[in-house]
Amino acid sequence: MLDTKAPPEADLLALREVVEGPLHEIAGRFSRFLSDRWPHTALVIFTKECTGRPRKVAGATEMINKVTIDELEQLKDLVEPGRPIGATAAVGGATRTVWAVRDPVGTLLVLVPRASRKRLPQPAALSALFGIVATSISQQVAQASPDYLAESRAASSERARTITEMATAHESALVAVLNTLRATALDDRRARVAATESASVALVALRSAQKSDLALSEEPAPAAFTKLRRDIRHLLKHHEAHVEFVPPAKAARPLPGEVAYAARAMTRTAVLAFTAQPDPSRLRVAWTCDGTSLRIDVREQESGSVDVRTLSLQLEGRARTLGATVSLDAVPGWGSRAGITLPFDPPAVRTGETRLSSLNAREREVLHLLAQGKRNKAIAEALGITESTVKFHVTGVLRKLEVSSRGEAAALALNGYEQGPRAGGREG
């Protein structure tokens, strides 16, 4: 944290710790650094350079979980680069007093002060400190380190998965309401009652989506399929198509929570696409497990006019996130079929690659030269730093790689460079 009584070099060392750690944790480190001079309950860093996770947050969970991109965009428009402000703005679903700083590169810092006072203390100092942090973020994005790439890809996939989940839920609710209103067998009063019931069920499901999304427990495969069957029957309550359900075996391996949610969502997406065709008469929905993966098979007889390209795009985000394979077929007049295979377990990550990804940019440079057999003096000359600094980095490398010698570190590095993906390019 920033100590106003400490010598300047102590503050610089503390700031160095802020910018050197993993990018996805920078908000927490910066929040602790600022806590004494700028007391706050929440901190948000907003940068479009990180497309995977544009919001980096720390502080009161009930507040930061509600902060939206739209709120930050509106606040960003109020702040001129290099001219911090204290203002009242909508943040986290409520109007709050905030301190905001915008760096020339476009990165935004938002602090929610502990006391509701608009006046921002020492705005020039806060702007200068945030400028260093914003520059560090920009450089880490440009360098695209392995840990940043892994975190960014995971975040991007999670965002795509969440968007797909919400879109599917909204689509299911709308289709259920429309099917009810279009049903010729219902009079106006009964149609209104049925439509209201469908909307109410969908609203409850959406409100509980976050809670269920965070659940990581396993689900027995038959129980997960029972939930799916209930969802589809409610969705097609007033649809004329007959649906045959084939559940997985009772002895099937339990499904990881994420796989269970994905399987239901992807199955519903396929069923919605098939029932949107003209006059589908019969559907078959089957799940089977082989011990390592879940196989989803959805078939529709007769129509065969499903838009395969659109359905593929609807399934793509979740499939990519979980490593699923998708096969789609449609033959006009004969029928349509969707086959989806969801692996239970993610691909194994090699321990060495995991440890290598924990190194920061400078440590990777030192390790690369160390793996070439260079001694401290040569490394110092190559990087333009002192030998004592090289020793400091080598110690950090050995500690993070959990090895006791330079030779072990070099061997691990060479193995990782040969087998693992190389850092490169720009990942935002």
CATH code (residue 406): 1.10.10.10
pLDDT at 128: 92
Residue 329 lies in a domain: yes
Residue 3 lies in a domain: no
Q: How many structural domains comprise the chain?
A: 3
Q: Are residues 323 and 258 in the same domain?
A: yes
pTM for the model: 0.42
Q: Are residues 49 and 166 in the same domain?
A: no
DSSP calls for 345-373: SPPPPPHHHHHHTTS-HHHHHHHHHHHTT
Residue 158 lies in a domain: yes
Q: Are residues 191 and 116 in the same domain?
A: no
Q: Are residues 154 and 137 in the same domain?
A: no
Q: Are residues 219 and 312 in the same domain?
A: yes
DSSP calls for 367-393: HHHHHTT--HHHHHHHHT--HHHHHHH
Total Cβ atoms within 10 A of residue 420: 16
φ, ψ of residue 394 to 5 degrees: the values are -60, -40
Displacement of CA 55 from its chain's centroid (Å):
11
Residue 74 neighbours by CB under 8 Å, 6+ apart: 89, 90
Q: Are residues 62 and 203 in the same domain?
A: no
Q: Are residues 170 and 204 in the same domain?
A: yes
Residue 182 lies in a domain: yes
pLDDT at 236: 82
- Domain ends where: 315, 343, 371? 343
- Domain ends where: 143, 158, 185? 143
CATH code of the domain covering residue 158: 3.30.565.10
Q: Are residues 331 and 197 in the same domain?
A: yes
Residue 386 lies in a domain: yes
pLDDT at 424: 35
Q: Are residues 200 and 134 in the same domain?
A: no
Residue 378, domain extent:
351-419
Residue 399 lies in a domain: yes
Q: Are residues 162 and 305 in the same domain?
A: yes
Residue 2 lies in a domain: no
Q: Which long-range contacts (CB under 8 A, 24 or more apart) does 397-401 make?
A: 397/359, 397/363, 397/366, 397/367, 397/370, 400/355, 400/358, 400/359, 400/363, 401/355, 401/356, 401/359
CATH code of the domain covering residue 75: 3.30.450.40
Can you tell me the distance from the alpha carbon of 409 to that of 180, in angstroms, rounded to the nearest whole number?
66
pLDDT at 428: 33
Q: Are residues 186 and 304 in the same domain?
A: yes
- Domain ends where: 321, 343, 365? 343
**Is residue 388 exposed (0-12), middle (13-18) or buried (19+ Cβ within 10 Å)?**
exposed
Q: How far apart are the first and last CA of the chain?
A: 28
Residue-level pLDDT, tens digit, the chain, 428 residues: 555 554 456 677 788 888 877 777 889 999 999 998 999 999 999 987 665 568 889 998 888 888 888 889 999 999 999 899 999 999 988 999 999 999 988 899 999 999 877 889 999 999 999 999 998 888 776 554 444 444 444 454 555 555 556 666 666 777 777 776 677 777 777 777 777 777 776 666 655 544 444 443 578 899 999 999 998 888 887 777 788 999 999 988 888 877 887 898 899 989 988 888 776 678 999 999 988 999 999 998 877 888 888 888 888 767 876 788 999 998 888 888 999 999 987 655 444 555 776 777 788 888 889 888 889 999 988 888 888 888 888 988 888 888 888 888 888 877 654 444 333 333 33
Q: Are residues 155 and 271 in the same domain?
A: yes
pLDDT at 107: 93
